[in-house]
Every structure is written in structure tokens, then in C-alpha cells.
Structure 1
Amino acid sequence: MSPNRVVLALLLTGLILLPGPAYAIGIERLDGPDRDRSSAGYVATPIDASNDSLLADRYGGHLSFRTGDLTHPYVAADYRAPNETRRVLERAIRNGTATTSSQAVYADLQQLQRNETFVTISHDAYYDYSISTAADTTTVRTTPVDNATIARAVRDELVVAYGQLPPAQQATFDKIRNATEAPDQYEYRPWSDEPVPDEPLVERDGTHYAVEVVSHTDDLNFPDGLFLGIIASAVGLVSLLASGGVWLYGRWRD
């Protein structure tokens, strides 16, 4: 083969292979919209839902508002008088009752009552609470709750029957449970279009499963063929350099 044909062959090879990573990205886009896995790995493990202490210890926090959270800016932004509301709640927890004449605090307490079952200061004790008003005074009353009370609330608010889940959540739950039980797997990382059940406890065929996150994996979500594309690009670069070398060598000989 003449030197000119060698140069041309190397040049064309280099130009074709150099954009290798772009080919990988383009091929992935042809497959449809991005479909990445969640960074969270889930398991679904059977638990004894009749054990009040277990449910209270593991899920009491799901149903409770910790007063100290009102000191965090991202929480305080949702309330009208976060600091005063926190002080009123903590007085009520310590003394059993507390009063305030602030309409802003009253609005905050109503918001809490709509969204939170219990209140707590440090998650080692939970309190039921009630709000009443008389004239311009709002009274907050708190009562310590035992494990049985918390467990009843957990069963009422945090347990969902498998048959009540939407089909997409059922499918995701099945994959999580199957991965948890498989000997060669432990967790399942759902795809971005696979919804996880909203409730942390799923009851199926009389067995209660705790669906929870056990790991986090940081993926860069590179296309599957990117590594091969990089290799092709490297080969293309070498081909271009080689074509230049052959061309210069031919000119030198001439």
C-alpha cells in the first residue's frame, strides 16, 4: 500500500473513532429518556408488628415532631413564630400545660396538630397534645404516651396493605423483597421511574415488612458504552497522530 493510502486510511480511522464518547451518549439517547437508578438501596424485612416496644422504638419518630427542629432554618421557614412556638411546646412538655396569647403561635400549633401525632424534645419520650382557646388565650396540654399508644398509631398511620398499593408500587415492593431474600443479593436500588411505597410498613399475606433504606451509592450515571467509547477515542487519536507521522516521514523521504 502506498504511503498516501496509509495516511488516508489512518486519517479516516482517526476521524471516525475520535468522537467515541459522543457515540455512546447518542446510542443511549436512542434508547429513550434517561432511566437512572436511585442512589438509595432498599430492603424489605419481616418484623413482628405485634411487638409494641419494637414499633414504638423504630417508628415513634416518624409520627412525632421534635421541638428542636424549629431552630433549623429550613423548618422554621414554614412557621410564623418558630422560636416562640418552640418555647411554648417545651413548657407544655415539661409542665403538662402552657399558655400563650400569640395568634402566630396559635396558627403554628394548629399546623402542627394537622400534621404531627406526637411531640417530643429528645425522642426518648413522646407526648400526646391538645390545643384549646378561650378568649385570646391558647392553652397547650401534653400527656406522656406509652409504647402501646405509639404502636397503635403506627399500625393506624404507617402500615399499608399490599393490595392497597398502586400497581407500580406493588411491583417495586416485590423487587425489593425478592432482592432482600435472594442469597446473592441484599438490597434493591429502584430505577427512577419505580415508585417506592409511601408508608414504611407493608402488610402482605399476614406478614409485615419494614421497607427501609440501608445504603447510598453515588453514581455518576455514565452511559454503559462510555468506557468503550473512550477506548475508541484513544485509538482514533493514535491513528491521527500516526497518519501525521507517516505523512511527515513520506515528505522527509521525498
Structure 2
Amino acid sequence: MPSNRTALVLLVVGLLLLPGPTYALAADSLMDADERQSATSYQAERIDASNDTLLAQRYGPRLTFWLGQLEYEHVREEFRAPTRTRDALERAVANGSATTISDAVAADLRALDRNYTFLSRESDDTDYAFAVERSTETTTVWASPATDSEVAAAVRERLVVAYANMSDAEQRAFENIRNATAHPEQYDHQPPDEAHLPPKPIVERNGTHYAIRDMSSTDTVTFPPGFFAGLVASGLGVVCVLAAALVASYNVVRG
């Protein structure tokens, strides 16, 4: 009958095999950036850039600062006076304007003005166009509801790049993405470096607008190579551990 040494070998082998999927995940985490990029797919979708609603709904959030973000600590750390700044913005949205004498709040407002075009809050679905005006002793922020037309105009101004204004590497990346989108059976485009992607999410070429979309964040679940083999190995590990327990138990009873 199997000896205790056999039981020990089975136990060791089983324990080594049990974390099979973990080995695959660990190996995946060690992949080079270029290897990881091969799992990212992009698509160039033709869009109607004259459709204000489309542009406002799809791209407006990129230009909008949501006031609720100031509840999160990692966001608050980027502001000098997050609570007072939010209060000023809330008053501007509610009343049309708000004035402050605080230098810290004024600095926060100017930073927002540089990086965003619109404001939004959780109590309604309206985007608010805002502007910051500084005088000798005070700073005023103005806010008013923005229409889809106004949001779309900002999108066209800030988020569209002309093909002719892109670098050679960016143009090649765009052409590869567009070809792969139009003829997926002939092309399998994986940009080698995100730095070569078009600098803005919409590319205009010869009057046609293309939305460059990262398709890697879809609902499709992907697993690293070897993951399923790891599951099989883990199952064998369970069998080995159980077998070791049975052999050891038998030897104890037999002894």
C-alpha cells in the first residue's frame, strides 16, 4: 500500500498546483507595456459632427467638472479650499453668479476655468457654462445653463483635431485604426504606443469626422494566457491533496 512518503509527495504536489490561476495572473502582471498594448483595440467610427445632441451627450462630460467630485479625498487634495470653492460654485449655479474675496478660492476657480468649460451637479442633468472674472479685490464666477448647441460648439473647438495637423506617427496610427475598422478581416491593428494615437478623440479628414474609441473597456471578459490551464492544475491540486489525506488516514488506521 502507499507509504507516508507517497502521501507527503502528493500533498506537496497538490499544494503547488492549487494556486494555478494565480500563476497565470502573476505572469500577466510581468508583461511588458508593448505586450499589454496588444490587448487594446481601437475603432474609428464615422460620426455626424453636425449633430449637437450626439456631441453633447458623448463628449460633453470630457469638458465638464461635476461638483460632486469635491466629495472625494483624492480630488480635494488638488484644491486649496475645496469646501469653500464648492460653495461658491453651488451659489453660482443656483443664482447665476457668486463672488469671493478668498485668494485660495480664487486660485481654485481659475484652475477650473483653465481645464473645464462646463459645470454639472447631481441634483439635475443640466450643464452650466461658467466663466471666472477677477477684479482688484474680488473674484466672481458666473454660471448659466448651456444648451446642446453650446456644448457641441465647445466640443468642436476643443476635442477635434484635423488630420493635417497630426504628426506622421499619429497619422499612420489613425490610418491603421480606420482600415481595421472598415475591414476587420484584413487588418488587426494594435497601436504599439499610446503616444502615437491621435491627440484628440475626434479626427477630421476631408470633411469626415471619425470618433477614435478604445474598445478594450467593453463588457467582454478576457483572461490572461494560461488562466484556464491554471484552473485545471488547481483542480488536480485539490485531487492530490485529497489523495494525500486518504493515504495518510489509511496508513494511520492500518498502523
- Aligned 1:47-62 pairs, distance under 5 A: 47-62=47-62
Q: Secondary structure at the match of 1:190?
A: coil
1:44 has 2:44 as partner: yes
Q: Secondary structure at the match of 1:148?
A: helix
Aligned to 2:80: 80
**Matched residue type, 1:210:** A
Q: Secondary structure at the match of 2:215?
A: strand
198-207 or 95-104, which deviates more:
95-104
Question: For each residue in 1:11-53, what CA deviation from the matched residue of structure 2 results, as whole angstroms up to 9, or x when unmatched?
Answer: xxxxxxxxxxxxxxxxxxxxxx973242432111000001111
**Matched residue type, 2:152:** A
Tell me how far 1:176 sits from its aligned partner. Answer: 1.1
RMSD over aligned CA atoms reads 2.7
Aligned to 2:100: 100
Aligned to 1:118: 118
Question: For each residue in 1:176-226, what CA deviation from the matched residue of structure 2 results, as whole angstroms up to 9, or x when unmatched?
Answer: 11111114379743223762112000011211000011224867689xxxx
> Partners of 2:51 and 2:96 in 1: how far apart?
28
1:208 has 2:209 as partner: yes
Tell me how far 1:107 sits from its aligned partner. Answer: 0.6
- Aligned 1:40-189 pairs, distance under 5 A: 40-122=40-122, 124-134=125-135, 136-184=137-185, 188-189=189-190
> Partners of 1:193 and 1:135 in 2: how far apart?
44
Q: Secondary structure at the match of 1:156?
A: helix
What TM-score do the two structures reach when normalised by structure 2?
0.67
8 Å contact from structure 1 (residues 160, 199) kept in 2: yes
Larger radius of gyration: 1
What TM-score do the two structures reach when normalised by structure 1?
0.67
8 Å contact from structure 1 (residues 37, 190) kept in 2: no
> Partners of 2:212 and 2:70 in 1: how far apart?
28
> How many pairs are equivalent?
191
Name stretches of at least 5 consecutive residues in structure 1 with no aligned partner: 1-32, 223-254
> Partners of 1:183 and 1:41 in 2: how far apart?
11
Q: Summarize the Cα distance change of 1:193–1:155 in structure 2 as closer, same or farther, 3 Å threshold.
A: closer
% identical aligned pairs: 44
Q: Summarize the Cα distance change of 1:63–1:34 in structure 2 as closer, same or farther, 3 Å threshold.
A: closer
> Partners of 1:134 and 1:205 in 2: how far apart?
45
Tell me how far 1:74 sits from its aligned partner. Answer: 2.4
> Partners of 1:168 and 1:152 in 2: how far apart?
28
Tell me how far 1:56 sits from its aligned partner. Answer: 0.9
> Partners of 1:185 and 1:75 in 2: how far apart?
44
Q: Summarize the Cα distance change of 1:206–1:125 in structure 2 as closer, same or farther, 3 Å threshold.
A: same
8 Å contact from structure 1 (residues 172, 194) kept in 2: no
In the TM superposition, structure 1's runs of 4+ consecutive aligned residues that sit over 6 Å from their partners are none
Q: Summarize the Cα distance change of 1:194–1:110 in structure 2 as closer, same or farther, 3 Å threshold.
A: closer
> Partners of 2:45 and 2:83 in 1: how far apart?
40
